[in-house]
Amino acid sequence: MKKVIISDLDGTLLRSDKTISEKSINILRECKNKGSELIFATARPPRAINQYIPSVLKNDIIICYNGALVLKGNDTLYKKEISRNVILEIIEKAKKYNLNNICIEINDKLYSNFDVTDYFGNVPNEVIDVRELDFKEAFKVILCTKDSINKNLIKELPAECNAVITDNGTLCQIMHAEVSKWNSIQHVLQHLNYEASDVIAFGDDYNDMEMIEKCGIGVAMNNAVEELKSVAKFIAKSNDEDGVTTFLESNNFIYVN
């Protein structure tokens, strides 16, 4: 049976050490060989996806920035960015909640006004007062804190924004109001001539909520947030137990035999 398999990366397909097991690689490769579409839908930027995906799993379409950018090879299928003026409003609102650590993703480059190592590891970025940047639009703003982000902030953000709190409440990821993984998936399905009922989707965090709820088979990882589990049709084993591919080869959903 041909299917569209859509998987989040961090906390889902990637194990805690940011690797994919040989077992998972082999099963996903077999799925592709049998004709299934394999798509990764992640909050990550393009530059931070390919380094974790082995060449045998490289796929034509990737969904980046929680859906703000969809790439097919070097071509852009869809993009939606936030204007500079709106971003400056976001920064002012964040100050009210003592959220002063700001990151901005512009053209596959990360800018921040602080050292991001504690949040994202040793990733390339330019440290600068982001208010001084000369740009028109950006794919995403990330507010970072060691504490838990106050959800009331989301209510006060400009109407042009869509925000989701992830990573145990330490990150607030802000995109254009029309951006979500689910919205970008709809563009991809139209491009591929598939229906939502043809999709099996895997996720673990709040930014996967709509995708898991609306795709044909929505699967939450065992390590997922409880709210996601409550809308999923199935619960898979954890990301550290190869939950995605264990589910795909289970008796109920055999995509590899």
Write out pLDDT tens, residues 167-220: 999 999 999 999 999 999 999 999 999 999 999 999 999 999 999 999 999 999
At 88, which helix (H) or strand (E)?
A: helix 84-96
pLDDT single digits (tens) 154-167? 999 999 999 999 99
Q: What secondary structure letter does DSSP report for 144? A: E
Of 176, 209, 230, the last residue of a domain is 176
Q: Quick one: 166 and 238 in the same domain?
A: no
pLDDT for the residue numbered 28: 93
What does the pLDDT read at residue 257? Answer: 35
pTM of the model: 0.90
Element (DSSP H or E) covering residue 39: strand 37-41
* Domain span including residue 151: 82-176
Question: Do the domain assignments include residue 109?
Answer: yes
- Tokens (6 digits) for 38: 């394999």
- Judgement on whether residues 142 and 73 belong to the same structural domain of the protein: no
* Arithmetic mean of pLDDT, 43-61: 85
CATH code of the domain containing 214:
3.40.50.1000
256, part of any domain = no
Same domain, 124 and 156: yes
- Give tens-digit pLDDT for 90-120: 999 999 999 999 999 999 999 999 999 998 8
Query: How confident is the model at residue 255, as a pLDDT?
Result: 44
Number of domains in the chain: 2
Give the mean model confidence (pLDDT) for residues 237-252.
89
69/13 same-domain check: yes
Task: Tell me which residue has tokens 């084993």.
Answer: 237
Residues 155 and 167 in one domain: yes
72 and 191 assigned to the same domain: yes
- Write down which residue in 155, 176, 197 finishes a domain: 176
- The DSSP code sequence of 146-172 is SSPPPTHHHHHS-TTEEEEEETTTTEE
Is residue 134 located within the same domain as residue 109? yes
Residue 24 has pLDDT above 90, yes or no: yes
- Are 93 and 155 in a shared domain? yes
Helix-then-strand count for the chain, H and E: 8, 16
Question: pLDDT at position 231, please?
Answer: 96
Q: Supply the mean pLDDT for the chain.
A: 92
